[in-house]
Every structure is written in structure tokens, then in C-alpha cells.
Amino acid sequence: MSRIEFMAGLAGQRIDSLISEQTGQSRSMAAKWCAAGLVTANGRAVQKSHVACEGELIAVDVPEPEPAHAVSEDIPLDIIYEDSDLLVVNKPKGMVVHPAAGNHSGTLVNALLHHCGGSLSGIGGVIRPGIVHRIDKDTAGLLIVAKHDTAHNMLAAQIKDHSFLRRYEAVCRGRLTPESGTINGAIGRHKQNRKRMAILPDGDKTAKPARTDYETLRTGAIKNQTLSHVRLTLHTGRTHQIRVHLAHAGHPVLGDTVYGHNDSLANGQCLFARELGFIHPDGRHMRFEAPLPEWFNYVLKKMV
């Protein structure tokens, strides 16, 4: 960590703007430094909205830059299948797939680099080597990883033409009517909350078509709350697709605090990527199914 010090000039300028001018960094980066307690004015920690006084001594403790690539970490992996072309991995709930802001270690990619060394496709770049598709941090289940670019391209092409099987199981709120069917709705970034996705109106050019088939396996209740155990098949792979579609239909995934309810009926998001089916680069048809994890079965046992 290095320190930058300077005297504020004319009064009336916000501290994040002033730091941006002095350091060449963005105002959003300056705001993050303020939020982390790295900025002081005359020795007192200040937030981004602080208005500088003329002659104030501004000090910024600049953290070391984040690594521009993912690093190898010895993290256990639940590998369902592996050969010289690809792996099928059962990702645990709570693990991020690849490094990003706020998650530079402990990710699936960090673990894959340790397990595979340099044997991962490079199409995803240095931050996402081998990653053909993703699932949310709080969603557990099966992911396919490509060990070289040829395998990556072949698998990605199957995802694009919708011949790649991705089937999930979830517990959601309420009773779906009809019990089986299809949810269609173009998904894009929420207009007010940019951290969320939403079904957007027809004609919105920022939305992408999305289709989810569902089948109710069982309906029950916990604490007088009606719940449904459902199987879901993705025909497209939009960000948060299942969660957005079920919430839009009035049946959010149990434990989904972003699109549903913050309650105690489940320990986290009850959504599991259970099945994958695809054509291997050598031409074989392959299909994998992971057993439901203990935390998922615990919820099912409580449903009466």
C-alpha cells in the first residue's frame, strides 16, 4: 500500500472528484477508497460526499492493484467426470465461478488452475479459463469445464443452438398452475436496480429471449407455507433466468433473497443444477446427474 498526500485547493469540491483529478483514477474507485476508510482530510477519515475545505491535507492510502489474472489455489473439487478434453464439476453453494470484483480468491477457477495447471481453454481469458457456462454463487450443481479451445468451441456451439441439456431442481413458493408448462419472458438488466435482472416489455432492445420449461414433482408445506418441488429445463441461459422467471410467475425460489423473501424456511437458495447432457468432442452423447445435496433433501423432508 502506498500513500498519496496533497493540499486541497479551492473549497467546495467533493472529495471523490478531487481524488480522481489528483490520481487519475475514476470517481467510483475514489468512492471505494473512501468507503474502505483509506481517505483522510486533516487526519480524519471521510466519505465520498465530503466537501473539501481550502488548504485541507488530503491523504489516500492506495491499495496494491488487484491481480490481472486468476491464481492457482489448492481448493478441493467434487469432480464427477474428467478426461483429456473436459471436466464435469459439482460446484458447492457459496462458491463463485470465476474471479470478479470482491471475489478474487476461493473461486472455482482458482481451484481449477491448481487441479489442471495450464490445461484449460483460453477462450474465456485469463480470468475465466475453461469456463463454458456459469451458475450463480448461491446455486450449487453441475458445470462443464473445457480443457482446450477446440472442446470449448464445440460445447459453446451446443449451448448456442440449445442442444446442450441443462436441467435444475428447485423448491419454490406456492403451487404452480398448471403443474407443468413453459415460462417465456425476455430478460434484461432491471431499469432501477442494476444488480438485478427482470423480464422487460416486448420491444426492449436490451432484453434477450428466455425460455424455461417446468414440471412440478411434488407439492407440500412448511409452517403452513405452500411449496413446490419443481424440475426446470433451460432452453436459454440468461443471467438469473430460473430465479427471474419463477419470481415473475409469482413463485420465487425458496431462500432467494434477491427475487423472493428473506425467511427462515431454508438455509439459503434452494436451487440445484442437477443434470447436464451434451455431445463430447469425440462424438459420444454424455449425460450426468448429481445427487441432491443434503441441504436440499432437508427441505424436501420438511415439506408435508
Instruction: Please report, for the domain that includes residue 132, its CATH number.
Output: 3.30.2350.10
In 3D, which of 95, 125, 126, 122 has the Cα closest to residue 108?
95
Last residue of a domain, one of 15, 30, 62: 62
139 and 47 fall within a common domain = no
Interval 136-176: pLDDT, tens: 999 999 999 999 999 999 999 999 899 999 999 999 999 99
Same domain, 231 and 99: no
pLDDT digits (tens, 9 = 90+) for 213-264: 999 999 999 999 999 999 999 999 999 999 999 999 999 999 999 999 877 7
Q: Give how many domains the chain has, as a whole number.
A: 3
38: confidence class by pLDDT, cuts 50, 70, 90: very high
Residues 6+ apart with CB under 8 A from 116: 87, 130, 147
Rg (CA), the chain: 23
Residue 161 DSSP code: T
Beta bridge partners of 40: 45, 59
CA pair distance 268, 270, nearest whole angstrom: 6
For residue 170, the enclosing domain spans 163-304
Task: Please pick, among 136, 149, 204, 256, the residue that the annotation labels catalytic.
Answer: 136
**Greatest C-alpha distance within the chain:** 72
177: amino acid identity, one letter: T
Identify whether 136 is a catalytic site residue: yes
- Distance (Å, whole) CA 154 – CA 176: 36
User: Per DSSP, which regions of 122-253 are E strands?
Assistant: 140-146, 165-173, 180-184, 187-189, 197-199, 211-222, 225-234
